[in-house]
Amino acid sequence: MKIYIIISLVLTMGYCAQAEVNPGQPINPENPFYKYDYEDCDFCGCGSTGGGMGYGTVGNENFVGLRYIYQSYKSRDGIFNNSPWVDEHFNTLQLWAKLPLTEKISLTALVPYQFHNREFEDGQTQNISGLGDVSLLAFYTLVKPKMDGMYANQQTKYKHSLEVGAGLKLPVGAYDRANNEGSVNPSFQVGTGSWDYIAALNYSVGYKNWGLGVMSTYTLKTENKKEYHFGDQFTYGVNLSKVYNTLKVDRIIPFVGLSGEVYQENESFGLSVPKTAGSVLFGRLGTEVSIKKISAGVNFMLPVTQNLNDGGVEARFRLGLHLNYTL
């Protein structure tokens, strides 16, 4: 996985777009880009962001808000090819925020509440819920879009930005080792129980009201107190958007893209756990609408190709909804 660390530090991530406005109309020189931040998470319920939905939105620089994420999976109830399938539903309700600390440094915080359930073929169900793992990340802006004047007709057509981020996932959520034993899907947890370290890069380029970017993150995971170690994770993606301005709505920002996730094998008591590595590539489609200080968005993801847990786990789809207040 060293190659993924190198790519993570070379590839850039993110997304941005510059709003198209009428010549002569003033624009905000402190926020020339609309950013779609990277994502980073375990592929199921125990990760801090709840399904790789990201740490930011397409329309907000700094915000506080609520986000709901739903993920649908099915997993084999056993190790054999004819083992029955289990329907799994992962739900995450997050309090999240992106707060400015200085002109170039910002802090992102995620506090999730998880409530997941399984439906077995014999009609039995299993439910777990509770506060999930909290994530804190700091971002430093290496390259900031420069404004050439006070008005839109004085701006260059191209803008770009580069951010580097680092942070921690704190083991706040409960981890139950029993959910890993006899279960094909080890991510059916409220929390991982481990301290994890996150590195990320975000590069974005905009042309007029179009935005394009690539993204990359690497999560170094550690062994928890129950001697279970979730595998490291590499995340990448590309996104494209366009910003629309109307008389009644400040911004409408539809976006489309691809997002991939790669996982190393888990370890238990220092030994590799077979069939826990894997990868998945999602196609994504969504939009965000902003009216004054309020913004709302939807994000839908479908798998394009996947090989999770040697075929023992299948991702169906993900849905994200958020409501934010811009600071």
Q: What is the pLDDT of residues 262-314, one digit of tens each?
A: 999 999 999 999 989 999 999 999 999 999 999 999 999 999 999 999 999 99
Give, for 95, the enclosing helix (H) or strand (E). strand 85-100
Question: With contact defined as beta carbons under 8 Å apart, do 114 and 130 qualify?
Answer: yes
Q: How confident is the model at residue 9 (pLDDT cuts 50, 70, 90)?
A: very low
Weakest mean pLDDT among 22-26, 138-142, 209-213: 22-26
| 237-274 pLDDT, tens digit each | 888 999 998 877 888 999 999 999 999 999 999 999 99
Give, for 67, the enclosing helix (H) or strand (E). strand 63-76
pLDDT at residue 214 in the model: 84
Phi, psi (rounded to 5 degrees) for 218: -135, 130
Q: How confident is the model at residue 206 (pLDDT cuts 50, 70, 90)?
A: confident
Give, for 308, the enclosing helix (H) or strand (E). strand 294-308
Position with higher pLDDT, 295 vs 36: 295
Helices marked H in 170-251 — which ranges? none
| Res. 37: pLDDT tops 50 | no
Give the alpha-carbon dihedral of 30, 49, 73, 187, to 10 degrees. Answer: 160
Q: How confident is the model at residue 52 (pLDDT cuts 50, 70, 90)?
A: low
Weakest mean pLDDT among 2-16, 26-40, 42-56, 217-231: 26-40
Going from N- to C-terminal start, the domains of the chain cover 2-326
Mean pLDDT of 28-41: 36
Count of helix runs (H) and strand runs (E) in the chain:
1, 18
For residue 301, give both structure tokens: 């993801």
Type of residue numbered 161: S
Measured between alpha carbons, how far is 244 from 217 in angstroms, rounded to an integer? 29
Mean pLDDT of 199-208: 87
| 105-115 pLDDT, tens digit each | 999 999 999 99
Measured between alpha carbons, how far is 277 from 311 in angstroms, rounded to an integer? 10
Q: Is the pTM of this model over 0.85?
A: no
pLDDT at residue 88 in the model: 95
For residue 25, give both structure tokens: 């109309």
Position with higher pLDDT, 51 vs 121: 121
| Res. 151: pLDDT tops 70 | no
Measured between alpha carbons, how far is 146 from 314 in angstroms, rounded to an integer? 44
First to last CA, the chain: 39
Q: What architecture is domain 2-326?
A: Beta Barrel (2.40)
Instruction: State how far the alpha carbon of 292 is from the alpha carbons of 76, 187, 252, 319, in Å.
Output: 47, 39, 12, 25
Q: How confident is the model at residue 77 (pLDDT cuts 50, 70, 90)?
A: confident
pLDDT at residue 22 in the model: 37
